[in-house]
Structure 1
Amino acid sequence: MADEARSHTVLAGVDGSLAGRAALDWAAAEAQRRNLPLRVVHALSMPLVMSVYTGPTRFPPSDEITRQGRSVLEAEAAHVRENRPDLEVETVLALEDPAQALLRRSGPGDVVVIGSRGFGPVRAALAGAAGVRLAARASCPVVVVPDPGEGSATTDPKQVVVGVDGSEDSQRALDYALRHAARTEGSSVVVVNSWEAPTPFAPASLIASGWTPPEDFLDRQSEEVVAGVLAEVIDETTENVDLSVVRTRKEPVEALVEAGREADMIVVGSRGRGSVRGMFMGSVSQGVLHTATVPVVVLPRSSESED
């Protein structure tokens, strides 16, 4: 079991920016919490060259580009080793773009950490490019750490907010949040359920006709959803975690981001219940990534539960 655990790793995408450094610090702390090695990845984003003879191949980097890349890696690795001398650190200089570089080097049981900047010129690029593509396609949790100028990112998250809607994805998100709290002294979990999330008792045809369920009915349904998810997830490892519940009619993204303002981390599934199920990535997850000012953990559908 110990050998299997040591085969996993925490990966941090870095680019020499302050956002990359914030992500690196968070990843290093997570690696130490989990007793896992840290893999620091810097992507050169070399373009693909199409050839009729060899097929697509990466354009080779110049010596100067390679030196610059290695310099970034050496500086970031030195920073980690200075602050966490007992942590096992390795570096990877990748030719691909950042998302592809991290996808190729991660798998179930790993954790990938990136900054909300450094993967594009503006924060909004995250939702349409590398960050969302990575979170939607990865087979492990992806943590997006806010830019130091936009929010807070303690490397020791104590209060964790998690959104639940009764779906299997939200069960995995709750399980992740509870297990994080169980192994982090002084931690607590806030479970958020929005009544505005699509529910199976309110078909689209009824909603379109203007019908809305009674308030007390929505309240009972919300209570049952939360109780059902907790019953499915809580076990002997997490039964003593400090837990509170927020049930609200606010729009799901607003509810999660509002609760997250007083927290250290938000956990969401990549997809939810209802119309978002068929999307490349759920609208709630994307909305939270757009607006949250604390680290956001996205658990893709293929993600395995973490101990």
Structure 2
Amino acid sequence: MADQHPVPSPTAPHVDPDQTQPPRARVVVGVDGSDGSRHAARWAAAEADRRGAELDLIHAVSLPVMGFAGFNPFDRDVQDLLRRESEHLLDTVHEQVRQAHPHLPIRSRAVLERPAEALVHASTDAAFAVVGAHASRFTGAVLGSVSLAVASGSRVPVVVVHERDEPAATGPVVLGLDGDGTADQAIDVAFAEAQLRGAPLRVVSCRDELRVVLPEYLGAEDAARAEQEHRAAITDRLSDRHARFPDVAVEVVLQQGPAKPALLLASEAASVLVVGSRGRGGIAGLLLGSTSQALMAHAGCPVVVCRG
């Protein structure tokens, strides 16, 4: 019969001995041993180094819920094995990151919690939470349940990184902008990222033809006036950020049609793509809009999702 031992406590954080000053910000990344998570860790390390922040490596282990509260059906051998495997994984990733970024403050810790919940909890005061996406033919599988759940539940911006994304990719920061007020956090993040990277900001705003009168049914003057009004509304919305980030060069791109194909195309040459999510609902997958999910799965660069 299995010993009725309590679930082991999380491993203590591994902190570099020369880490004497608390960083101004943290970048949290989940690692699970997959190639996708290792790539996400490398990308997160480069971003933490870029912004003078601390990197927080999180490995979550969850055991099946069995029996009743306070009862653990797994004996100490199983628990010790999980602990040793977690420590070995974190040590390996920690060393790989340390070689590339020797002066970066790094913490690594294993927690006994479901992976998505662990990342959401660990990143409540972080600058970003970073997750890797797994390759697949289907959108949901590309993201994986953890990636989707973290992006749906986090209160801080979540970055989804694919294995094809380079850790130090160059190019403009692309912001997908619509008329929804929930995009305010996305605007702030996009301007801050552009300034941090010394990159221009390309604002892509689309009007779905299902919601507006098609240009071919308008006279030339009416079509020009509609575009002018659209551009003026975008410019007005960005005006206060221009004042806060005067060094950021901004290009506004107006397009007719759905946002998804336009933003996917823009992402091919971007360093990051920033979007807000308008999703509603009580199920994790429904907390993100379909456009956000598609961009997270198929964009040509890392995608920053801001839920506000």
TM-score by length of 1: 0.79
1:146 aligns with 2:168: no
Question: Aligned letter for 2:25?
Answer: H
**Structure 2 SS opposite 1:114:** strand
**What corresponds to 1:80 in structure 2?**
97
- 1:228-252 CA-partner distances (Å, limit 9, x unpaired): 221143223x122122121101310
Matches of 1:123 and 1:281, distance apart in 2: 13
**What corresponds to 1:254 in structure 2?**
261
Deviation (angstroms), 1:24: 0.6
User: For 1:56-205, what aligned pairs fall within 5 Å after superposition?
Assistant: 61-117=78-134, 124-127=140-143, 129-148=145-164, 152-185=165-198, 187-196=199-208
Structure 2 CA distance for partners of 1:226 and 1:258, relative to 1, 3 Å: same
Matches of 1:193 and 1:79, distance apart in 2: 40
Matches of 1:172 and 1:147, distance apart in 2: 26
1:158–1:181 Cα contact (<8 Å) kept: no
Matches of 1:283 and 1:122, distance apart in 2: 13
Deviation (angstroms), 1:50: 4.8
Deviation (angstroms), 1:40: 0.4
TM-score by length of 2: 0.79
- 1:2-34 CA-partner distances (Å, limit 9, x unpaired): xx9836311111122221121111111111122
Structure 2 CA distance for partners of 1:101 and 1:235, relative to 1, 3 Å: same
Question: Aligned letter for 1:33?
Answer: R
Deviation (angstroms), 1:265: 1.0
Matches of 1:147 and 1:223, distance apart in 2: 36
**Structure 2 SS opposite 1:129:** helix
Matches of 1:43 and 1:84, distance apart in 2: 24
**What corresponds to 1:296 in structure 2?**
303
**What corresponds to 2:292 in structure 1?**
285
**What corresponds to 2:236 in structure 1?**
228
Q: Which entry has the higher C-alpha Rg, 1 or 2? A: 2
**Structure 1 SS opposite 2:243:** coil
**Aligned residues: CA RMSD:** 3.1
**Structure 2 SS opposite 1:67:** helix
Number of residue equivalences: 278
**Structure 2 SS opposite 1:136:** helix
2:27–2:126 Cα contact (<8 Å) kept: no
**What corresponds to 1:305 in structure 2?**
none
Which 5+ residue runs of structure 1 have no aligned equivalent? 302-307
Deviation (angstroms), 1:197: 8.0
Q: Percent same amino acid among aligned pairs? A: 29
Equivalent of residue 219 in structure 1, options 227, 236, 246: 227
